[in-house]
């Protein structure tokens, strides 16, 4: 086994991106969002490491967990008859930002970066900190190359195509504009649509490795603009757009996405810690976090009546919503709106649930450098962080006997984005101007989410037992 001598350093590897690890197998991360380094190739085993993000000044660390790479087998390119089975090992997985998230994780694979499947042989050894999986490389020329990633990839090319699809629409109030530029000079696009007085902002992918967030944006925009139906929208969406003007930012951090980062932008800033100063750390700034600086300025210009910051969570196998319980403005009004919104979302899409999630901050203990807390405090509106799982959804797990069922992936995230319309439509009549909102359905009541792992494990075990009994 020979590793290309041209690779001299992680920086060079980032630029070159490709390592010929073996005469029969070539590993490359030289593409949009790619991140991997080859450590060693010995026989049927390839040892890899994730390239860390740039150093984060505020958090004093280098984040890492996102990976994406392409493996090309000469068995396919030469038309050889025998598949080649390879074991992939990420040897620094134990050093990841959320190493516990590897437990129960399954790597995803694709031949074209459009259709993805989960790799059931994925295993994480917490004692050694190694994430591993096996793959039988096909002898088919069409399947000679396979992409492996932490989650379905949403490339910058796809992002640009989404913006172009939106710009070609004709919805009432449609406007596609740049809020400003990133450190690498990319546009921070915002798609506005609707003619309503209420202003709804939905931003995505502050953490670039959380690619499910942009799938969510795609699904939301497809519904709001009727992108799959020739511009025709359903009656609920049409009515909502007459009451609400949406401002949708599909990707807050395109630089980090292209560079293959997990949580930071081109300069090493974790954007979801840049919405207010922290002690003597100034934020946001044009020099370090222009993405946040420009977005916040645009929100100040329009005002905000509803806000969602869409993310992905490495550890919890659920979709959930984290509110602003620790902010100084949190009161019964916001709590009622929050509970009703979550209840409506769970009714419209079972991938959403309200039982499990982050433990709320204690009263008046919010970190205002975190986006949703800053927005709640600044505008006194219903605002939250929406999290989706990297793992399969425990709420609606895939049928493992059906190879076509990949569980929670990019497509399901898009469906969840479309369902936001239903949940928002339910609370809009009381979003502003109602001091004491009243919602009558039983699951409209606010529920304190549970983050306890033992409780989560017990719930999953009970659900699995019940499903087995029904079968």
Joined together, the tokens standing for residue 323 give: 């509110």
CB neighbour list of residue 443: distance below 8 Å, 6 or more residues apart: 343, 346, 347, 354
* Cα angle: 293, vertex 294, 297; to 5 degrees: 90
- Taking the alpha carbons at both ends of the chain, their separation in whole angstroms is 49
Q: What dihedral do alpha carbons 16, 22, 26, 29 form, nearest 10°?
A: -40
Please give the DSSP secondary-structure letter assigned to residue 356.
B
Strand pairing of 187-193 and 244-249?
antiparallel
CB 307 within 8 A of CB 290: no
Phi/psi zone of residue 205: left (φ > 0), alpha (ψ -120 to 50 degrees), beta? left
Residues 37, 387, 451, 470: which is the catalytic one?
387
Residue 272's SS3 state is helix
CB 70 within 8 A of CB 147: yes
CB neighbour list of residue 246: distance below 8 Å, 6 or more residues apart: 191, 192, 193, 194, 200, 201, 202, 224
At residue 389, what are phi and psi to the nearest 5 degrees? -85, 145
User: Is-catalytic flag, 287?
Assistant: no
CB neighbour list of residue 453: distance below 8 Å, 6 or more residues apart: none
CB 106 within 8 A of CB 391: yes
Active site residues: 387
């Amino acid at each position: 086994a020979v590793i290309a001598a041209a690779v001299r350093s992680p920086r060079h590897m980032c630029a070159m991106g490709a390592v010929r690890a073996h005469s029969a197998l070539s590993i490359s991360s030289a593409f949009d969002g790619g991140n991997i380094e080859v450590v060693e190739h010995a026989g049927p085993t390839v040892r890899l490491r994730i390239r860390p993000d740039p150093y984060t000044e505020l958090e004093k660390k280098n984040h890492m967990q996102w990976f994406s790479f392409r493996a090309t087998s000469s068995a396919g390119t030469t038309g050889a008859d025998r598949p080649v089975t390879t074991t992939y090992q990420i040897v620094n997985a134990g050093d990841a930002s959320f190493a516990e998230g590897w437990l129960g994780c399954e790597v995803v694979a694709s031949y074209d970066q459009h259709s993805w499947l989960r790799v059931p042989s994925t295993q994480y050894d917490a004692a050694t900190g190694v994430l591993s999986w096996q793959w039988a490389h096909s002898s088919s020329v069409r399947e000679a190359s396979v992409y492996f990633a932490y989650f379905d990839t949403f490339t910058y090319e796809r992002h640009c195509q989404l913006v172009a699809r939106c710009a070609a629409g004709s919805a009432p109030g449609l406007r596609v504009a740049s809020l400003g530029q990133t450190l690498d000079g990319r546009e921070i696009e915002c798609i506005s649509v609707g003619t309503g007085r209420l202003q709804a902002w939905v931003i995505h992918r502050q953490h670039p490795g959380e690619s499910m967030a942009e799938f969510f944006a795609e699904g939301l925009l497809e519904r709001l603009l009727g992108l799959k139906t020739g511009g025709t929208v359903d009656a609920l969406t049409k009515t909502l757009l007459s009451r609400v003007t949406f401002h949708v930012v599909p990707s807050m951090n395109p630089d980090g996405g292209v560079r293959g980062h997990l949580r930071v932008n081109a300069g090493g800033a974790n954007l979801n810690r840049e919405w207010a100063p922290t002690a003597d750390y100034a934020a946001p700034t044009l020099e370090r976090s222009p993405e946040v600086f420009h977005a916040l300025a645009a929100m100040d210009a329009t005002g905000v009546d509803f806000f969602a910051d869409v993310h992905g969570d490495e550890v919890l196998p659920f979709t959930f919503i984290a509110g602003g319980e620790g902010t100084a403005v949190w009161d019964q009004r916001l709590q009622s709106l929050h509970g009703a919104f979550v209840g409506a979302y769970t009714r419209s899409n079972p991938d959403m649930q309200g039982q499990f999630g982050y433990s709320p901050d204690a009263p008046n203990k919010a970190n205002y450098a975190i986006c949703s807390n800053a927005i709640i405090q600044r505008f006194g509106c219903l605002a939250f962080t929406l999290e989706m799982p990297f793992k399969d959804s425990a709420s609606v797990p895939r049928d493992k006997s059906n190879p076509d069922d990949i569980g929670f992936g990019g497509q399901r995230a898009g469906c969840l984005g479309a369902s936001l319309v239903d949940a928002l439509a339910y609370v809009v009549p009381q979003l502003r101007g109602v001091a004491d909102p009243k919602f009558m359905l039983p699951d409209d009541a606010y529920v304190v989410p549970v983050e306890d792992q033992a409780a989560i494990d017990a719930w999953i075990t009970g659900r699995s037992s019940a499903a087995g009994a029904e079968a």
